[in-house]
Amino acid sequence: MIQFLSPWLFVLLLLPFFVYWFAPTKQNANQSALRVPFLTDFTKNQTTTISTKINRTRLYLAALAWIFLVLASTRPQWLGEPIEQAMNGRDLMLAVDLSASMQEKDFILGKDYVDRLTAIKAIATNFIERRVGDRIGLILFGSEAYLQTPLTFDRKTVSTLLDESAIGLAGDNTAIGDAIGLAVKRLRNESQNSRVLILLTDGANTAGEISPLKAAELAAANHLKIYTIGIGADEMLVGSFFGYRKVNPSADLDEKMLLKIAESTGGYYYRAKNIDDLNNIYMRIDELEPVEKDKQYFRPHRELYFIPLATALFLASLLSWRKLK
């Protein structure tokens, strides 16, 4: 079917009539009071008849051009059949740690060692793309927590903004409690059975105005389920003057705190020591049962205004050509 976005503009079709009725009539100053018939008057009558026909044709063309121009201004559109949208899913917020410790290169991606944030980007991007039907938001936190992307179905934008994030962008410390508090604030007005926060960090809470456990209590009271992921290898070789030695790059990771946060909100705590662990964790979270939401429909539409607009421009150019001729 065809619809018009601005049907009220059809009243402009009457504008030429108002101009004709109310505009002052042009008087012919050269018209004589007394006419004397001569033979040349017959020639003039023929010329006048031809001129009248030409003027009438130009009037019809101008009227058609005006009709098509008004039709184009009403924005006609062709509407297709309603298509049901896939609206089953969750309101899912990702909270990613950007503190200075995330630059530790203890993950292997391909054949190269990469920092922890790069590993998260590589796996999380695929996870985001798979969450069709979910609304996804992004929180970045360091010394402070920032909402980088509000809840949206635009998964590509979320992936792009995650990929553009950088270590230290939010400060060098780790405000886990503030990140949880911000997620609660952004999700508390959403459906209770669909609120999920996935929090990724490699350390302990060292900044912020609210403690992580207090924030977790607030999350539980607002029915926000939190899945915590501890990032970082448990051992790596470090070169020194005396050769190589094994160290634990995740010594500062507060696993007990992350476990308490997850358990108090009905979620789970996962440990990601390498790329495979991180990918498997996302696969497990990917299996969350979706929540039924109200069905929504989308009607594809195609703009048609350019057809009457092109016709009006053609008629206007034809009028100009005839006038010049």
DSSP state string for 275-325: HHHHHHHHHHHTTPPPB----EEE--EEE-THHHHHHHHHHHHHHHHHHH-
The pLDDT profile of the chain, 325 residues, written as one tens digit per residue, is: 788 888 899 998 888 888 778 766 655 545 444 455 554 554 455 555 556 666 777 888 888 989 999 999 999 988 877 765 555 567 899 999 998 888 888 788 878 888 889 988 988 888 888 887 788 999 999 999 999 999 998 899 999 999 999 998 888 899 999 999 999 999 888 777 778 999 999 888 888 889 999 999 999 999 999 999 998 887 665 555 555 556 666 777 888 999 999 999 999 999 888 888 888 888 888 776 554 555 566 677 888 888 999 999 998 888 887 665 5
Report which residue type is found at 69: L
For the chain, report the end-to-end CA distance as a whole number of angstroms.
Answer: 42
- Nearest CA among 156, 125, 138, 175 for reference residue 275: 125
Check residue 291 and give its pLDDT: 47
| pLDDT given for residue 236 in this prediction | 61
Q: Which CATH superfamily does the domain covering 86-296 fall into?
A: von Willebrand factor, type A domain (3.40.50.410)
Each domain of the chain, given as residue ranges in start order, spans 2-20+41-81+299-324, 86-296
3-state DSSP call for residue 127? helix
Number of Cβ within a 10 Å radius of residue 132: 10
Distance between CA atoms of 213 and 315, rounded to whole angstroms? 73
pLDDT at site 39: 47
pTM reported for the whole predicted model: 0.62
